[in-house]
Amino acid sequence: QLTMSLNSSTLLNEDAQGPKGNAECLESLELQTPSSFQDNPLEQLQLASQEVLEKAKKSGRSKCPRCNSSRMFYCYTCFVPVETVPTKEIPTVKLPLKIDIIKHPNETDGKSTAVHAKLLAPDDVTIYKYPCIPEYEEKRHEIALIFPGPNSVSVKDIAFHLQKYAKKGVFDCDDDCSREPLLKQAKIEPKEEKNRNECISSSRNEGTRLKKIIFIDSTWNQTNKIITDERLQGLLQIELKTRKTCFWRHQKGKPDTYLSTIEAIYYFLVDYHQEILKESYKGQYDNLLFFFSFMYTLIKNAKCCAGKE
């Protein structure tokens, strides 16, 4: 499930690479259609040419260069493109911070969109399978977790709230900077707002304190096991803006504001770029949806041909 109202860990469909032929399998998938499926918000993305994926689709499944498994487009266990998808033709995205993805052990590798992030931003993304995750306690002042908990804060307030973890939990920018995160809807008094702005400004001048962001890759019902792990306790929790998913394996009974893992990563980075780095967004992270948008179009077209739309 990932981040709830902003990202539910619905995972990608790689079993569109199953024993059936690609087109046949896509047409026969039993998929729930989120309400946003009718329009294509992915149309405006500034993506690298997907011609390499078109060619791979026509040639069918291919071997993983590492484990020799038969896959379509990429190997979801080795995190590499298959032989028919040359690595040099896959875009690479440079991220402004590191990303750790914690994957629930019961999630099917082939259905996870988390692998997209590793494929497209290999230098900045690490995927861990729970319970084998790092110890984060010593770095709490520079790490945040995407999760809509009761004390989660918005992206624009990250710098302010991370101050409480700096220098043994006390930061030299007025006492207000070291207090516990406020509840999401708490009213900010004028003096506190001033202190908040000063802290954010100070943090921004130092290059922004946040260095790593953590995402949970699981269904919403499975996330409790991970979010309650003692190694994740005390981390600043971030809630994303509400956006609608385009994911084709939408969790049954869940709202369309539950995003897939790769969507959550993408939208977080867009918000971070605009609200923390204070730079205009010009598509810098759009290629994170390189595979996602291609699969979206494939499945949408297959559903059309099958008369399901």
Q: What is the pLDDT of residues 207-230, one digit of tens each?
A: 348 999 999 998 877 888 899 999
User: What pLDDT was estimated at residue 183?
Assistant: 35
Domain residues of the chain, as ranges? 54-81, 91-167+208-306
Q: What is the mean pLDDT of residues 295-309?
A: 75
The residue that leads in pLDDT, 258 or 193, is 258
Eight-class DSSP state of 179:
S
User: What pLDDT was estimated at residue 92?
Assistant: 97
Please tell me the least confidently modeled range out of 113-122, 179-188, 192-201, 285-294.
Answer: 179-188
Name the 3-class secondary structure at 212: strand
Report the chain's mean pLDDT, rounded to a whole number. Answer: 77
User: What pLDDT was estimated at residue 16?
Assistant: 40
- From the list 278, 282, 281, the residue with the least C-alpha distance to 207 is 278
Tell me: pLDDT of 11 over 70: no
pLDDT tens column, 104-120: 998 888 888 999 999 99
Q: Which pair of structure tokens corresponds to residue 118?
A: 């590793």
pLDDT tens column, 141-190: 999 999 988 889 999 999 888 877 665 453 333 333 333 333 333 344 45
Interhelix angle 290-305/261-275, nearest 10 degrees: 130
Residue 252 near residue 147 (C-beta atoms within 8 A): no
Q: What is the mean pLDDT of residues 245-271?
A: 78
Q: Dihedrals φ, ψ of 142, to 5°?
A: -135, 15
pLDDT tens column, 78-94: 999 999 999 999 999 99
d(CA 153, CA 202): 19
User: What pLDDT was estimated at residue 304?
Assistant: 73
